[in-house]
Structure 1
């Protein structure tokens, strides 16, 4: 069996270099732990970038995959799929929505949302309603359409000309949003909590004000909950904590507890805008992924996972606040549930590498923000272990 160095050498010969990969070759995972091919154990506070909300290989998700794989792996969406129907019912029952379009990723879900807002607005208001306003520092995907929606210049470099029809305003600034609206605007698309942008929380009352502004101007409101949905912020969906509902919401990442899936949830009034032939996905909502989705969502809702997320999130916040007092280069700690960012006045990339060497998996986003995304089943002892490792690294700076 190959060791890590041998696997990495083989990867360097054939795998696309689209990621800045760390020298870890993953072999297996269980709960909040990951092991590499050399047998080294890591405490995983990245969770597949908010995918493994139930930890690695949750037994209920594994069982659902095994049982479904023995019955039916794939069938065309020209036919009805029981697991797809059941998962759609769960999502609608526990959200504002009435309908679900299934796909395979967050970027695909956001593409579907952008198509829907344009088509509905054209039909309802005329052909000039096509523009979508998003936020600076937002992240909505890597496709040619979603990089245009993303409020970060760096994701568009080299891929110009960018798809037209997008404007960007500062996240949290309702006055800037109002000023950006034009006769061409059809929708506003926001992450209720910005993940890739640095774990940025909305100011109190901001999302309510956005909802009111959209209603005033006849605009659609889209919430991208790809990263912060499915329990990550302590409620099933992040919008629930803001007292506001969107017209459309996108999900992916943790929706199936690990396997790839995406979804767009929307209200009944949009149903005629997405008729046969207007959109589709060969693998979207296939039996295998939706069976996993049923298991994952049921576990989130029935097994006390959200309660644990809130309790452990409060403890993580308490422990991280100690770092701000202890280290002058810690600028701010912010977050909700079990998504937290620690903003530094120094670069964070090397800190992440040193934590990895000592058995802790973290992430650095926007250059100087350490991001904590542990599984929602994390324990107090695991949080202490992780932060002891981080403390050891920070003491040496």
Structure 2
């Protein structure tokens, strides 16, 4: 079976059984399907290799199939793979101690989950129970805290609320980075403020200096609980272990996921400050709520990933190599101002803010032709989306320079397109989910670009 026929069959199955919109994106962008991965590379079903600068938006922080993590996981599988809810295990307790050591502040209760959204939902139940006299929650516009049903009610991408009916009058949205607006929304006090210390997603944004410190002071003065969502920013992605370190603050609750296990299993946790746990012990609030998240295999992979980050100096590498990456992207932004608006981010959490969704789609396609994957916004609606570059923290400087060369070639290719061609493609991008597959140019027997 030819690779094109194979891809056609894969996408037909994807459309029928998983996601019709994902299959549509594959067809429009002429994107191949990943089959294997190793280090900073992924390989598609045809055998073509790509440098992965998408990394599932930060999951593969120590690279794909990191051998140190793999060895730890295999050893744990040989001993014990899983324990039922309500049972602890030595690996979980070791991970809890490690997290209490590396996360700034003093932490007591730690609860483990399968996904970040599940962790967010548990924190929502908790804060609403312990702040019974308050129901208001303040979140930031364009923030991302998961898409399970309850988590979606505090999702800053409000277009999704219309699809699922999860809007609530108890949630107030304020522009990210606008502390004055936050002050007005909190007033004399609300139940909780949820915030990403660095805004992720297609709206990637670093807040003004002192933003998190001001939020901490506001929450302290009004009796409001502060929940920091470090799902994307944690474990060195932003050039420090955690983004709260930039303003040297400690939230009441912190949520971690993505880079936690280096990509070996879906895993998340919520940490509760000692102060909060002493006032409202988690066990007394939710004594019977147990998740499948803290099983030994996930905990072993998390311990190994943390060890690898520490032993290989990946936090410092994120700062140094992130500087190489960001300087290169800034140089390209100066050369192509008609395509690139700016280069937001810090450390290895960066990208190109592009002047329209059409440029994001074109950049994704051109980079893919040149063997580079970057993180696009998919169904996050942004007028100026950020095409994200979140490579593994152990990527070599030579690989970063290659990515920058390929990015420059991709921008050259787009800049040389006739304006009428770009305008026509923008119509396709805006209406892609309504276009029948037979009009997308993906046919059996045709070459896959």
The two structures have a TM-score, normalised by structure 2, of 0.83
Match among 241, 246, 253 for residue 241 of structure 1: 246
Q: Look up the match of 1:269.
A: 275
Structure 1: how far apart are the matches of 2:169 and 2:402? 48
In structure 2, the residue corresponding to 1:98 is in which secondary structure? strand
Q: Which residue of 1 aligns with 2:321?
A: 312
The offset of 1:230, in angstroms, is 1.3
Q: What does residue range 105-184 of structure 1 map to in structure 2 within 5 Å?
A: 105-122=115-132, 128-182=133-187
Shift of 1:341: 2.5
What is the DSSP-based 3-state SS (H/G/I as helix, E as strand, rest coil) of the residue aligned with 2:344?
strand
Following superposition of structure 1 onto structure 2, how do residues 293-332 of structure 1 map, counting pairs within 5 Å? 293-329=302-338, 330-332=340-342
Once the two structures are superposed, residues 129-150 of structure 1 have per-residue CA deviations (whole angstroms, 9 ceiling, x without a partner) of 1211011111111011111111
CA pair 59-161 structure 1, distance change in 2 beyond 3 A: closer
Flag the structure with higher helix content: 2
Determine helix, strand or coil for the equivalent of 1:137.
Answer: coil
**Distance in 2 of aligned mates of 1:179 and 1:14:** 46
SS at match of 1:294: helix
Deviation per residue, 1:255-303 (Å, 9 max, x gap): 0110110100111233344226446344111111111011011111222
Shift of 1:17: 3.3
The match for 1:341 is: 351
Q: Which residue of 2 aligns with 1:125?
A: none
Q: Secondary structure of 1:275's match?
A: helix
Q: TM-score, normalised by structure 1?
A: 0.94
1:369 is aligned, of 382, 386, 408, to 386
Unaligned runs of 5+ in 2: 416-449
Counting matched residue pairs gives 392
For residues 352-363 of structure 1, what are the structure 2 equivalents within 5 Å?
352-363=364-375
Distance (Å, rounded) in 1 between the aligned partners of 2:401 and 2:253: 38
Gaps of 5+ in 1: 123-127
Distance 1:358 1:50 in 2: 21
Q: Is the 8 A contact 1:199 1:335 kept in 2?
A: yes
Tell me if 1:91 matches 2:96.
no
1:5 CA displacement:
3.3
For the 8 Å contact 1:130–1:184, the answer to whether it is kept is no
Deviation per CA, 1:77-134: give whole Å up to 9, x if none.
3222111111111111111222211001111111122122212222xxxxx3121101
SS of the aligned residue for 2:10 comes to helix
Deviation at 1:194, TM superposition (A): 0.6
Distance 1:282 1:224 in 2: 19
Q: CA RMSD in A?
A: 1.8
- Separation in 2, partners of 1:392, 1:327: 12
Aligned with residue 380 of structure 1, among 387, 391, 397: 397
Measured in 1, the distance between the counterparts of 2:168 and 2:32 equals 36
Tell me the residue number matched to 1:5.
8
C-alpha deviation, 1:16, in angstroms: 3.5
SS in 1 for 2:351: strand
Q: Distance in 1 between matches of 2:185 and 2:115?
A: 29
